[in-house]
Amino acid sequence: MKASILLLPGDGIGPEVVAAAEQILRAVGARFAHDFTLQSAHIGGAALRRGLPPLPDETLKAARAADAVLLGAVGDPEFDKGDSSRRPEAALLAIRKALGLYANLRPARVWTGLEAAGPLKPDVLAGTDMLVVRELTGGLYYGEPRGIDADGGSAVNTMRYSRGEVERIARHAFEAARARRNRVTSVDKANVLEVSRLWRAVVTEVAHGYPDVELTHMLVDACAMKIALAPSSFDVILTENLFGDILSDEAGAIVGSLGLLPSASLGEGPGLFEPVHGSAPDIAGKNIANPVGAIASAAMLLRHALTLETEASAVEQAIAWTLSTGMGTRDISQRAAHTTEVTAMIESALQP
């Protein structure tokens, strides 16, 4: 097939891990005879450094024209002091909104060979395979009013959800559960927040259309605890934007490293695929960043944006095989291999 993929390397370790994912995408193209056109554009601090806004118009235009977008990371300490519209992170929020990417899928599972890489006892972690379905274009991240008062004495953000916003993300989660183990845990703070009470009511209504899927409601504090105590009890976790941001980092930590986690952001426009880890400026440019999150994001791109399931599975199997040999960067392995070495081994493990 022919497909155009836009690469947005961004900041920190973004360029290194996107280069790794690009190498794997090119290898998939060659081995499965696909014609992938890969182009790059600037985003985040990488755009600000060139005197451009964090999400330049040309970048957004290129994203809209592409079949899928693969992003590295945004975030650069140099721009941390600016107002919120001039921060690299503003680019992420803007591109998610502009492309209507309301459904963020963050799978977290324990890879064979990495049972002891994380902070949990291997028998607690055994069997962990969860999917966080995070609402991505609503809630506190976008709600109005927002801002800091002129005198700097107080500040406000607003958590707001409409029924429609909750319905569409809930349907996404129930559909995803049908392709997995038919269980959805909807996470909220309904004992305190009105928004959560609406969330719970709407999710319960949507669940009536999925009698084959078992729905449980859980408060976010209890969920955070249960992810640490009994992670294998979860299948799909459905939650709003901020809770999903926090819980997906926790899910990454318990399976060994945030550097392993991929994500897909889906909705109206072309899908955006990015590792869950951030720009990690402290290790940028050292060839030590874990490329697995970005390469697994490329696999999600193949699956969700291009419906190339065989190719996506082949990439995931190549990752699984590589990790099972003990190969890995220093966040997950005593071998402390370089980014490029891990990538080369995954590439060599790719079978048509």
**Residue 123 falls in the annotated catalytic set:** no
- SS3 for 77-140 is HHHCCCCHHHCHHHHHHHHHHHCCCCEEEEEEECCCCCCCCCCCCHHHHCCCEEEEEEECCCHH
What residues between 271 and 300 interact with ligand IPM by CB under 6 A?
A: 276, 278
> Is the CB of 29 or the CB of 278 nearer to ligand IPM?
278
Q: Say which of 102, 141, 161, 210 is annotated catalytic.
A: 141
> Which residue number has the CB closest to ligand IPM?
89
- Residue 41 CB, shortest distance to ligand IPM, in Å, is 18
- Residue 281 CB, shortest distance to ligand IPM, in Å, is 13
Residues 181-200, one symbol each (x = binds ligand IPM by CB under 6 A, - = not), give: --------------------
**Residue 221 falls in the annotated catalytic set:** yes
Determine which residue in the list 245, 250, 311, 316 makes contact with Mn ion, applying CB under 5 A: 245
- The Cα 43–Cα 343 span in angstroms is 24
- Residue 299 CB, shortest distance to ligand IPM, in Å, is 18
Whether residue 201 contacts residue 166, with contact meaning beta carbons closer than 8 Å, is answered with no
State the binding partner of 188 from Mn ion, ligand IPM, none, CB within 5 to 8 A by kind.
none
State the binding partner of 76 from Mn ion, ligand IPM, none, CB within 5 to 8 A by kind.
none
- The Cα 127–Cα 114 span in angstroms is 12
- The Cα 110–Cα 126 span in angstroms is 7
- The Cα 261–Cα 275 span in angstroms is 6
Structure tokens at 132: 């966080």
Burial track 272-303 (b if 16+ CB lie within 10 A, e otherwise)? bbbbbbbbbbebbeeebbbbbbbbbbbbbbbb
Structure tokens at 227: 């992810």
State the binding partner of 314 from Mn ion, ligand IPM, none, CB within 5 to 8 A by kind.
none
Q: What is the DSSP letter of 73?
A: E
> Is the CB of 86 or the CB of 178 nearer to ligand IPM?
86
Q: Is 331 in the site for ligand IPM (CB under 6 A)?
A: no
Cis peptide before 352 (omega within 30 of 0): no
- The Cα 220–Cα 237 span in angstroms is 11
- Residue 133 CB, shortest distance to ligand IPM, in Å, is 14
Determine which residue in the list 92, 117, 215, 337 makes contact with ligand IPM, applying CB under 6 A: 92
As a dihedral over the C-alpha atoms of residue 83, residue 87, residue 93, residue 96, rounded to 10 degrees, the angle is 140
The H or E element that residue 150 is part of is none
State the binding partner of 101 from Mn ion, ligand IPM, none, CB within 5 to 8 A by kind.
none
> Is the CB of 245 or the CB of 347 nearer to Mn ion?
245
State the binding partner of 187 from ligand IPM, Mn ion, none, CB within 5 to 8 A by kind.
none
**Residue 141 falls in the annotated catalytic set:** yes
Q: Is 89 in the site for ligand IPM (CB under 6 A)?
A: yes
Q: Is 250 in the site for Mn ion (CB under 5 A)?
A: no
**Residue 121 falls in the annotated catalytic set:** no
- Between the two ends of the chain, the Cα-to-Cα distance in Å is 15
Q: Is 245 in the site for ligand IPM (CB under 6 A)?
A: yes
Task: Give the amino acid at 287.
Answer: N
Instruction: Tell me how many residues contact ligand IPM (CB under 6 A).
Output: 6
**Residue 282 falls in the annotated catalytic set:** no
Q: Just list the catalytic residues.
A: 141, 189, 221, 245, 249
Residues that bind ligand IPM (CB under 6 A): 75, 89, 92, 245, 276, 278
Residues that bind Mn ion (CB under 5 A): 245
